[in-house]
A and B are shown apart, each in its own frame.
Chain A
């Protein structure tokens, strides 16, 4: 046996292998990256994949460098970055065999109309649930956002703050698209009244639910679905109609390994690549509808679900206003969270005691109305102002203005409730 080691040392050499190097920039976690890397490597042993990692908000400056930082492929769930780089002329047109790849799922586009990038997977929004908690508190499983606004769920929800949690802005906008601007914010206000805020940090939603701290958390599906597939006693309920956040893939214009890049894309979009998404540690939704025939028994099928509840949410419509939405959410709720909850609690108690309906409606209108109208929210200048938030005097002025507007409304609601209490 010793001889083997001696021979091995003698084999050390500087002989270069003829592998082609492909650099992929992504924000996927290790669990996703390693499986695709390994499977692609097995299918294409002549291509060596190097992974560079960037948070979504940090990918745009990296890919805007000279030679695009040496990146050949960008693969991420940041549609905004794909759009911005498309405007810069940063992508090559994809030349792929599209057979079996849908271009839309209802209102959701699964490919760039000009052919520069294409969706590789989707993640759906819904409600992570601790069934034992629901049973203990006698609560029904929610199926819609409207359900979460019910006062029965007061104290039982955990809601991500969209300006602090990456996946949440599109989730919040999906409520606004589904219910409309005014009714959507009103619904979110009632949900905030029932929820504790969740900000980005070390605690996962699954920690909060697993510890029995709260029973329901609106969230994106894969993290909870993966936890469930790995044995967590949780459940995931999709909010019908489901809103989806698609991830995309593109080849950089500066790529010096275009053929290898196209092979990587073809693999990711192939049946074999798409089926990797079913893995218990990944649990994303394939964009290739024909692979759902091989899905695990407990897997969600968005194409089948869309037959009963057509997809109406379009992330491309949402993107320009996400920053603005976050600012509105912060002005309405984040900065006033305990107060909003206390006011709703008093209002609901007063209503339960048979309080005056007209006055109650007035108070509810104060608590649920957004500081700007739907028309204002569609103004391009205002949307552009909030595209990059923070450190800008104009943005901060708007933040203050909306915060003050909401404070005054909450003051008035409190005065009305105080008066009602004295009756």
Chain B
């Protein structure tokens, strides 16, 4: 009862979120639900978004090539297309065995210390991300394989759940041994829909959320990151540690980091000083993605709609939604936010949205820690991931892996990995009677 009172105090009052099925929420539960574009824009903006869709779906080619629109892959890279890591605009997947390659996952790297603006320092020979692939004549940087060890957790009622802890092994490292003190953090490609709405939430809203008193010892704070375009420190909101300021910087960072595609924000190829073949590889044009085409990708991402809730009138789902609030999940996974002014795309302004995220950093405990700081995010901190659409991942992406590195094989495991600020809520989840736990999961699947 004390738990419930605390949650109600924080929320003001329990308010069930109903499916909107209009505007940026769309009542579509098909396998294309993450790929619907908001139609209430001018034909020219829609056309721009469709051009962006083409670039998002395109497989990039190595130079020289006749198709100048999509030339410039590499010299080192992880995948050929945006779609590789964000299949059907949804969630990537971790390999299940050491033999499987990372197809929609990558590993961030950094050296200890901070860069001039407070961000991570690259590893001298490998940069800030391990690029496994290289174009012909340019060796890839190396390979990562993942294996798992299992531990068991008993739930109230006698059920047991096995959690798998990943371990990573780097092989075929082609450019010097990796420094012993290098830091790394594996990342599965997250869903990309609804990102325009998250961008349109104004900074003050996030600061206010951080300043609000919270139950269960939960805190939450914004990451403050360098905005290279504004030349200023701002509140970060994209990236798994809220380590990127804007959607444009997130997209341009992925183009250069994942595919080696230069843009006005990253005009240099991602070769380190020791990667001679990479530095000498032929290029056709620079930047490979001009500002106009980068903007079209942004327009596409900004206009991607979010799936509306389903089965919100199901009593089991409604029970689960109440438990979600009662045990403190909704303190971080904030159900409702309102977007602010957004001159970059006014249709996104003033929208009531249901991301189930506060976009803030939370200490998630040692179990999920990557030990790799990123601006003001520490090694145990992660940004609350939005939960919208999470119930459709299994149907659309054909797996049910969650968390930043895909270690959780279902929603139960994902909840059980929560530690740190979420430890109390996790314990309540463990102690719940089975039926209530199932109701909570039914609610998550309705999102």
**A→B interface (CB under 8 Å):** 1-2, 4-5, 7-17, 23, 29-31, 33-34, 37-38, 41-42, 45, 48, 50-55, 57-58, 61-62, 69-70, 202-203, 207, 227, 229-232, 280-281
Q: Is the CB of A29 within 8 A of B165?
A: no
- Name A279's closest neighbour in chain B (CB-CB): B398
Chain B at the A interface: SS class: loop
- Tell me whether A17 and B61 are in contact (CB under 8 A): no
**Residues A53 and B177 in contact in the complex (CB < 8 Å), given A4-B167, A7-B167, A41-B99:** no
Could you show 25 A-B contacts with beta carbons less than 8 Å apart? A1-B369, A12-B170, A12-B173, A12-B177, A13-B173, A13-B177, A14-B171, A14-B173, A14-B177, A16-B172, A17-B143, A29-B59, A30-B83, A34-B103, A38-B100, A41-B100, A52-B62, A53-B59, A55-B67, A61-B66, A227-B32, A230-B30, A230-B31, A231-B33, A281-B31
* B435 interfacial by beta-carbon distance below 8 Å: no
**One of B30, B80, B366 near A231 (C-beta < 8 A):** B30
Residue of B54, B73, B370 near A202 (CB, 8 A) is B54
- Give, as a whole number of angstroms, the nearest-CB distance from A81 to chain B: 13
| Residues on the A chain within 8 Å of B133, using CB | 50
- Are A5 and B67 in contact, with the CB atoms below 8 A? no
Contact (Cβ within 8 A) B167 A34: no
- B residues less than 8 Å from A23 (CB atoms): 136
Task: Output the least CB separation between A6 and chain B (Å).
Answer: 9
User: B67: which A residues are within 8 A, CB to CB?
Assistant: 55, 58
- Structural contact, B171 and A17, CB atoms closer than 8 A: yes
Q: Shortest 9 CB-CB distances between A and B: which pairs? A: A231-B30, A202-B50, A45-B99, A230-B31, A53-B59, A58-B66, A12-B170, A70-B136, A202-B51
Identify 6 new A-B residue pairs, CB closer than 8 A, beyond the known A13-B170, A15-B171.
Answer: A31-B87, A34-B84, A34-B87, A202-B53, A280-B31, A281-B31
Among A17, A53, A203, point to the contact of B60 (Cβ < 8 A): A53
Given A30-B81, A55-B66, A202-B51, A16 and B165 contact (CB-CB distance below 8 Å):
no
- The reply to whether A5 and B370 form a contact with Cβ atoms under 8 Å apart is yes
With a CB–CB cut-off of 8 A, which chain B residues contact A12? 169-170, 173, 177-178, 180, 182
Which residues of B (163-222) have their CB < 8 Å from a CB of A? 165, 167-173, 177-178, 180, 182, 184
Q: Which residues of B contact A2 (CB under 8 A)?
A: 366, 369, 371
Cα A9 to Cα B51 in complex, Å, equals 42
- Give chain A nearest CB distance to B58 CB in angstroms: 9
Q: Chain A residues with Cβ under 8 A from B367's Cβ?
A: 1
Q: Mark B141-162, 1 if CB is under 8 A from A, else 0.
A: 0010000010000000000000
Give Cα A302 to B124, complex, Å. 56
Is B314 part of the binding interface, using a Cβ–Cβ cutoff of 8 Å? no
Tell me whether A230 and B169 are in contact in the complex, defined as CB-CB below 8 angstroms, given that A12-B177, A50-B133 are known contacts: no
Closest partner residue, chain A, to B66 (CB atom): A58
Contact of A42 among B83, B100, B136 (CB under 8 A): B100
A9 in contact with B180 given A14-B173, A207-B50 (CB within 8 Å): yes
- A-chain residues with CB within 8 Å of residue B178 when the two chains form the complex: 12
CA distance A230 to B371 in the complex (A): 40
> Which B residue's beta carbon lies closest to that of A27?
B59
**At the interface, yes or no: B15 with Cβ under 8 Å from chain A?**
no
The interface on chain B, measured as residues whose beta carbon lies within 8 A of the other chain's beta carbons, has a size of: 52
A34 surroundings in chain B (CB, below 8 A)? 84, 87, 103
Interface residue? B65 (CB, 8 A): yes
Check A53–B100 contact: CB distance below 8 A.
Answer: no
Interface flag for B28 (CB, 8 Å) = yes
Closest-by-CB residue of A relative to B419 is A1
Q: Which residues of B contact A11 (CB under 8 A)?
A: 167-170
Cβ of B171 and Cβ of A16 under 8 Å apart?
yes
Tell me, yes or no, whether B47 is within 8 Å of chain A by CB. Answer: yes
Which chain A residue has the least Cβ–Cβ distance from B136?
A70
Assembled-state Cα–Cα distance A10/B181 (Å): 9
Please give, as numbers and ranges, the residues of chain B lying within 8 Å of A231 by CB-CB distance: 28-33
Cα–Cα, bound, A407→B178 (Å): 70
A15 vs B171: C-alpha distance when bound (angstroms): 6
Known A-B contacts A9-B180, A12-B177, A30-B59; the reply to A230 vs B369 at CB < 8 A is no
State A51–B133 Cα separation when bound (angstroms).
Answer: 10
B47 / chain A contacts, CB cutoff of 8 Å: 202-203
- Asked if A13 and B171 make an inter-chain contact with CB atoms under 8 angstroms apart, the answer reads yes
Of chain B, the residue at the smallest CB distance from A202 is B50
> Measured between alpha carbons, how far is A7 from B167 in the docked complex, in Å?
8
Alpha-carbon distance between A53 and B178 when the two chains are bound, in angstroms = 31
Q: Tell me whether B101 is interfacial, beta carbon within 8 Å.
A: yes
**In the complex, B57 has a CB within 8 A of chain A:** yes
Task: Name A8's contact: one of B66, B167, B366 (CB within 8 Å).
Answer: B167
Q: Is the CB of A30 within 8 A of B51?
A: no
Q: Contacts A14-B177, A57-B66: A41 and B31 contacting too (C-beta < 8 A)?
A: no
Asked if B136 and A69 sit within 8 Å, CB to CB, the answer is yes
In the assembled complex, which residues on chain B have CB atoms less than 8 Å from the CB atom of A55? 61, 65-67
Chain A residue with Cβ nearest B380: A2
Contacts of A70 in B (CB 8 A): 136
Q: Are B57 and A232 in contact (CB under 8 A)?
A: no
- The B53-82 residues at the A interface (CB cut-off 8 A) are 53-54, 57, 59-62, 65-67, 73, 80-81
A203 to B66, CA, bound (A): 22
Which residues of the other chain, B, contact A62 by a CB distance below 8 angstroms? 65
Is B65 within 8 A of A58, CB to CB? yes
User: A227 to B88, alpha carbons, bound, how many Å?
Assistant: 12
Which residue of chain A lies nearest to B31 when distances are taken between CB atoms in the complex? A230
Residues of A within 8 A of B54 (CB): 202
Bitwise interface map of B from 18 to 44 toward A, beta carbon under 8 Å scored 1, else 0: 000000000011111100000000000
Name the residue in B73, B133, B169 with the highest tally of chain A Cβ atoms < 10 Å from its Cβ.
B169
Closest Cβ of chain B to A64, distance in Å, is 13
Q: How far is A29 from B81 in the complex, measured between Cα atoms in Å?
A: 9
Closest to A233 in B: B30
Contact A8 B168 (CB under 8 A): yes
Shortest A162–chain B CB gap in Å is 19
A58's nearest neighbour on chain B, judged by CB, is B66
Asked if B101 and A1 sit within 8 Å, CB to CB, the answer is no
A45 contact set on B, CB distance < 8 A: 99
B129 nearest CB across to chain A (Å):
15
Do the beta carbons of B53 and A1 come within 8 Å of each other? no
Shortest beta-carbon distance, A232 to chain B, in Å? 7
Rounded to whole Å, the gap between the CB of A210 and the closest CB of chain B is 10
Can you name the residue of chain A whose Cβ is closest to the Cβ of B178?
A: A12
Looking at the complex, which one of B29, B103, B172 makes contact with A38 (CB distance below 8 Å)? B103
Q: How far is the CA of A15 from the CA of B169 in the complex (A)?
A: 10
Contact indicator B57/A29 (Cβ below 8 Å): yes
Collect the chain A residues with CB atoms within 8 Å of residue B50's CB. Answer: 202-203, 207
